[in-house]
Amino acid sequence: MSTIIGIDLGTTNSAVAVLQGGEPILIANATGETLTPSAVSIAKGGQVLVGQAALSRATTHPEATAVAFKRDMGLLKRFELDGRKMTPPELSAVVLAQLKRDAEAFLGHPIEEAVVTVPAYFDDAQRQATRSAGEIAGLKVERIINEPTAAALAYGMHAKDRELTAVVLDVGGGTFDVTVLELIEGVIEIQSSAGDARLGGEDFVDALVAHAVAELGEIDHASSRARVRAACERAKCALSSSEDTRIVAPGIEVAGKKVDCDIAITRDEAHELWAPLLQRLRVPIRRALMDADMAADDVDEVLLVGGATRMPCVVQLAAEVFGKLPQTDLPPDEAVAMGAAVQAALKEGNEAVDDLVVTDVAPFTLGVEIVSEIGSRLVHGVFAPVIERGTVIPCSRVKRFATTEPGQTSISVKVFQGEYAEIERNRKLGEYTVKGIPKKTGECQEVDIRFTYDLNGILEVDTTVIATEKVAQMVIQRAPGRMSKGEVKKARKAMQRLKVHPRELLPNTVALERANALYVEVRGGDRDRLGYIIAAFRAALDEQDAAVIAELRDDLNATVSRMKRG
């Protein structure tokens, strides 16, 4: 039987893992790293680069590179890469396909199926888009698991014999989830989930970029904006270990002139810039605790997941809210992929995890739009919940409604997710029309609307006309961002035609692209030395002498690392 792999498809980085010897193991990519940047770039001749090679081109070739596209899953958005238009699911599929190739190289056999993680607060359209991305990449994705639930599974592997209440704070590149859970002898019960699907490490970088723009003025060109953003990303990371740093990007074009971006910033100044974001983190934490009917003092341990939790301000916030230092037993960048591997092993029926059980809950309320009669008035746009947030899944709930007018022969069922009484403040998931309702003079007809929500967070809606027992089912084929079967099939064929960069040559390409990105930033003697080594490496690539290539690649990588540290 083919191995099922676990994949953390992240906003900033992605990872793939598998259970071996009873333990989740992260699979290294062609450059020996367990984290693959979620970046795609189109190089000369239409060749597609994925991962670190693509990320390095984000500053040198921003017009041909896409990053952070996970945040737009389920939306009608197109990224244009050097004239080629690609959707978020298609870009995600390129990353998934690369992870699939890495896993196949590691395991030595083809991979057909994967468990893929998503933020707990991803809605139906975003989850369906993730499933479509897997299909385009040639992967069957029958099981989708929430990222904090996956992290809890990885944690549960190491704490099977303990009984405790824990909170998982998952601050990724583009999303934030908080999950309250109870662990009792290998049984993980999710009590509640909350989050913000558009809050993560990228927003902290955006705040630094806004600060730099306020100092410099409006930046003219895409390449200059990309370089300033990369400098802000480096500064954000530096402030995790230093009290102060500088946002440095020489030769930036501002108002038609070239200026050097060199802005000093302290950790305290950055925290002041990030204060609104940190306040936003507190809101879902409060909601998750309230839904679990717990106080912060009831929590035994706090688990930090996601690269952004390395930021001292996030650690400090967690310590302030819960009155204890967070746990650091699992690497924050790897915990979700490890948990996905555990879920894959559970799906396979692996004996190593047969004593591990996990339950999950619906992270948001699902319902329909109704017209409410208040006295003699009809109030439109009212939200009627069918499945409340916090309901254990899988679940099926039904509610009975009636037509608004006597003799009405059809109804429009509009489905929403959200927590507000006013329908316009919630997110619309789709709608469909139920026809064939019997026309009876002076009588309103009753209908049952059933929501079925599965373990993958995928929603099905059935409407039954009571008088006829006729059932209509919602199929949201044309909702924003939703790909039809035909579109998925077409995208998969296009994927197979892509000139994907050979995996065995990736270490050389990564080394060269990283060096080229640094060459833009350095000056003087450093630039001369780096330029010479780049030229020597390119000459070795032309000569195709493997031993010389490997030696010069090591030299180039060492030089780049040394210059970045210096």
Q: Are residues 372 and 351 in the same domain?
A: no
DSSP string, 414-444: EEEESS-SBGGGSEEEEEEEE------TT-P
How far from each other are the two terminal CA atoms of the chain, in whole angstroms? 50
Among 184-193, 265-274, 390-399, whose mean pLDDT is lowest?
184-193
Catalytic residue ranges: 8, 70, 147, 170
Q: Are residues 76 and 140 in the same domain?
A: yes
Q: Are residues 376 and 335 in the same domain?
A: no
Any bridge partners for residue 382, and if so which?
A: 370, 422
Q: Are residues 159 and 110 in the same domain?
A: yes
* pLDDT for residue 42 is more than 70: yes
What's the pLDDT at 478?
46
Q: Which one-letter amino acid corresponds to residue 379?
A: V
Any bridge partners for residue 188, and if so which?
A: 183, 358
Confidence of residue 566 (pLDDT cuts 50, 70, 90): low
88-97, 497-506, 538-547: which has the highest mean pLDDT?
A: 88-97
Domain end point (choices 331, 361, 391): 361
- Please provide the size of the chain in residues: 566
CATH number for the domain harbouring residue 376: 2.60.34.10
- H/E stretch holding 213 reads helix 201-216
Q: Are residues 47 and 95 in the same domain?
A: yes
What's the pLDDT at 385?
96
Q: Decide if 260 is inside a domain.
A: no
Q: Are residues 173 and 39 in the same domain?
A: yes
Structure tokens at 294: 């717990």
Task: State the SS3 of 54-86.
Answer: HHHHHHHCHHHEEECHHHHCCCCCCEEECCEEE
Please give the C-alpha separations between residue 221 and each of 64, 254, 461, in angstroms, as whole numbers.
14, 8, 47
The number of domains in the chain is: 3
**What's the pTM?**
0.88
| CB count in 10 Å sphere of residue 460 | 14
Strands (E), 9-135: 13-20, 23-26, 36-37, 39-42, 47-50, 65-67, 79-81, 84-86, 113-118
Q: Tell which phi-psi region holds residue 122, choosing left (phi > 0), alpha (psi between -120 and 50) or beta.
A: beta
Match 């990449």 to its residue by tokens. Answer: 137
Alpha-helical (H) ranges within 137-171 are 147-157
Q: Are residues 178 and 100 in the same domain?
A: yes
Structure tokens at 137: 């990449």
The average pLDDT across 222-239 equals: 94
Q: Decide if 265 is inside a domain.
A: no
pLDDT in tens, 548-558: 999 999 999 99
332 DSSP assignment? T
Q: What are the residues whose beta carbons fall under 8 Å from the beta carbon of 486, sequence distance 6 or more?
A: none
* pLDDT for residue 559 is more than 90: yes
How many Å apart are CA 304 and CA 148, to the nearest integer? 10
Q: Are residues 350 and 300 in the same domain?
A: yes
The average pLDDT across 506-512 equals: 92
* pLDDT for residue 296 is more than 70: yes
Phi, psi of 360 (to 5 degrees): -130, 170
* pLDDT for residue 227 is more than 70: yes
Q: Decide if 267 is inside a domain.
A: no
The average pLDDT across 75-88 equals: 91
Domain end point (choices 361, 396, 413): 361
**Mean per-residue pLDDT over the chain, rounded:** 91
Q: Decide if 243 is inside a domain.
A: no
Question: Comparing 120 with 376, which gets the higher pLDDT?
Answer: 120
Domain end point (choices 323, 341, 361): 361
* pLDDT for residue 376 is more than 80: no
* pLDDT for residue 477 is more than 80: no
* pLDDT for residue 368 is more than 80: yes
* pLDDT for residue 18 is more than 90: yes
Q: Decide if 220 is inside a domain.
A: no
Q: Decide if 43 is inside a domain.
A: yes
The domain containing residue 528 runs over which residues? Answer: 503-565
Q: Decide if 122 is inside a domain.
A: yes
The pLDDT > 70 percentage for the chain reads 98
Which has the closest alpha carbon to 231: 260, 198, 254? Answer: 260
What's the pLDDT at 53?
94
Q: Decide if 226 is inside a domain.
A: no
Q: Are residues 409 and 547 in the same domain?
A: no
Strand pairing report for 392-393 and 395-402: unpaired
* pLDDT for residue 67 is more than 50: yes
How many Å apart are CA 96 and CA 108, to the nearest integer? 18
User: CA Rg, the chain, in Å?
Assistant: 26
Q: Give the CA count within 13 Å in the CB-facing half-sphere of 431.
A: 11
Q: Are residues 281 and 397 in the same domain?
A: no
Q: Are residues 63 and 191 in the same domain?
A: yes
Match 């029309």 to its residue by tokens. Answer: 433
* pLDDT for residue 436 is more than 60: yes
pLDDT in tens, 138-186: 999 989 999 999 998 998 877 777 889 999 999 999 899 999 999 888 8
How many helical (H) and strand (E) elements, i.e. helices and strands, does the chain have?
13, 28
Q: Are residues 46 and 145 in the same domain?
A: yes
